[in-house]
Amino acid sequence: MGRGLPVNERAEPRELAPLLERLEAGLAGYDSVVVAFSGGVDSSLVAALAARALGARALAVTAVSPALASGELDGARSVSRAVGIAHEVISTDELAREGYRRNARDRCYHCKTELYDRLAALASDRGYDVLLSGANADDRGDWRPGLRAADEHGVRHPLLEADVGKAEVRALAGRLGVPSAEKPASPCLASRLPYGTRVDPAALAQIDRAERAVRALGFPILRVRHHGELGKVELPAGDLERALEPRLRTEIAVAVRGAGYAHAAIDPEPFRSGSMNAGSGALPLALVPG
């Protein structure tokens, strides 16, 4: 596995053409592969490289469960067609696992264990050689219990092993014409629940409804953090000032309330991944009597 610096610490970016050749050559050494495929930029790049290196011997598989946000499956199907890889859909049942429902800091370990159990069974039944993930080099510095589950299942991480970080992932995906090259991260809906709040299908569906409703108001990147009766909206810095204008503020309140929350708030801090790991304040919204 590569031991170099993450891409954001490199003195100079690497040339893309030789890096692509190296990645493809590494994948060509496998007999056949199954790619754990969410449709996000990381797994999309791995799928595109696998298709180029292995052709029909590469299969992308997307797992569907109540934790998958609306629209993500359609996006994955579109990307798989664009990069020319065979694509299948399976169902996972992470909610049947107490460790996942308990929602401690190792929730992702139980989710990924369920995923890789299902993918390993599929690969074994169908004669595929190796499971691949889209983990990249920047994931080394983050809290990623899912990588432990991957290790237990013998999953390989072509991007991480080649020391390719997120900036290079996007550059490589753009060079290959991958449609999701600039797609924002879209982790599972359970990531909107504070650690210790049990995961249940009703809460996941409520979060999904709220995010769809706010997205329809012209906010493509957001999270609705689930705090019982409160839905707290997080938005990027570029959208925050606009969202706090009186008219839109009220419309966001109506959207969140319409998803079933009694109260709504906008976080005064810009959206950032992993914000559930730390508490922050919120600005209550002008709520419509209901």
Give the pLDDT confidence of 177-192 residue by residue, as tens digits.
999 999 998 899 999 9
pLDDT digits (tens, 9 = 90+) for 205-243: 999 999 999 999 999 999 999 999 999 999 999 999 999
Catalytic residues: 188
- Among 239, 247, 245, 226, residue whose Cα is nearest residue 269: 239
Query: Residue 177 and residue 53: Cα distance in Å, rounded?
Result: 16
Q: First-to-last CA distance in the chain?
A: 56
How far lies 34's CA from each of 55, 151, 191, 289, in Å?
12, 16, 25, 51
CA 74 to chain CA centroid, Å, is 14
d(Cα 139, Cα 124) in Å, to the nearest integer? 28
H helices of the chain, in order, are 16-28, 41-54, 72-83, 98-102, 107-126, 146-152, 158-161, 166-175, 201-215, 237-243, 246-258
What three-state secondary structure class fits 227? Answer: strand
Whole-number Cα distances in Å, 248 to 53, 230, 255, 262: 48, 18, 10, 18
CATH 3.30.70 fits 200-284, yes or no: yes
Query: What pTM was computed for the model?
Result: 0.88
Domain extents in the chain: 7-175, 200-284
pLDDT in tens, 118-165: 999 999 999 999 999 999 999 887 678 999 999 999 999 999 999 999
- Per CATH, the architecture of 7-175 is what? 3-Layer(aba) Sandwich (3.40)
